[in-house]
Amino acid sequence: MSFIKTTEQDSHYNNLEKMSINEILSNINNEDKTVPYAVEKSLPQIELLIEKIVDKLKNGGRLFYMGAGTSGRLGILDASECPPTFGVSEDLVIGLIAGGDSAIRKAVENAEDSVTQGWEDLKSFSISEKDVVVGIAASGTTPYVVNALNECNTKDIITGCITCNKNSPLSLTAQYPIEVIVGPEFLTGSSRMKAGTAQKLVLNMITTATMIQLGRVKNNKMVDMQLSNNKLVHRGVRMIMEELNISEEAAAKLLQEHKSVRKSIIHGRQ
């Protein structure tokens, strides 16, 4: 199979430094508009991976994201938002980045080039066939990710990926590849742009759909969210008011007593 890095191809736009701010913004926006349509073409692939993730998580497994640079940071972002949004434990969805936690803020030289560290990072979490590992790499060539997924395959661990190139080494390694082909970036090779946006959209789909399937949402509400600040407490009160058709005072009293929107609604109906 041929492999062409469309994410590295020359931008459709030239002489960027001669553009006005308005021209730059308009052209970036025009490129960004194409991303959801590229994601739409990948919905069947995304569905297949989510089905496997739901099955594993229902049976005590975990979801791992792993990547380098922007891709790794996006995985960590999505994983870190699952506990406050859906009330799940911090070890249900785990994000790993080449170079470790220090690479979240600052690039770590050559970390993504290691052919062994990805698997070592997974082993530190006692990875097993109960889990799912999703590699994230716009290029689809990151050794840290590709080699880790290859090792997972040899140990009957379900693997998926999110990449923005067709028939990349990562796509060919993952059992359930997701390929969102966004084409050349406005700024040649800057895959934090359209490719990063595409990855974020897919990650939103993966965890949101998975958590809904796991029963962490009621109607369209985040009834298991953590009440970690005043904004979320007020949101929880409004949810209870709407569900039970009761006053703000009564809803606040229920929430104060039960410390959970879901439990408040259950007890309020009894």
Catalytic residue among 8, 31, 81, 257: 81
* Mean pLDDT, rounded, of the chain: 95
pLDDT-derived band at 2, boundaries 50, 70, 90? low
Out of 31, 112, 179, 185, pick the active-site residue: 112
8 is catalytic: no
Beta-bridge partner residues of 95: 65
Q: Strand 93-97 relative to strand 158-163: parallel, antiparallel, unpaired?
A: unpaired
SS3 category, 74: helix
pLDDT, mean of residues 222-232? 91
Q: What is the pLDDT of residues 76-122, one digit of tens each?
A: 999 999 999 999 999 999 999 999 998 999 888 788 999 999 999 99
The predicted pLDDT at position 209 comes to 98
Estimate to the nearest angstrom the gap between the alpha carbon of 146 and the chain centroid: 18
What distance in Å separates the CA atoms of residue 266 and residue 226, rounded to the nearest whole number?
Answer: 17
In contact, 140 and 171? CB cutoff 8 Å: yes
Q: What local confidence, expressed as pLDDT, does residue 25 receive?
A: 98
For 27-59, how does the pLDDT look when each residue is reduced to its tens digit (9 = 90+)? 999 999 999 999 999 999 999 999 999 999 999
pLDDT tens figures, 169-194: 999 999 999 999 999 999 999 999 99
Q: Give the pLDDT confidence score for residue 109 in this predicted structure.
A: 77
Q: Provide the phi-psi class of 121: left if phi over 0, else alpha when psi is between -120 and 50, else beta.
A: alpha
Residue 112 designated active-site: yes
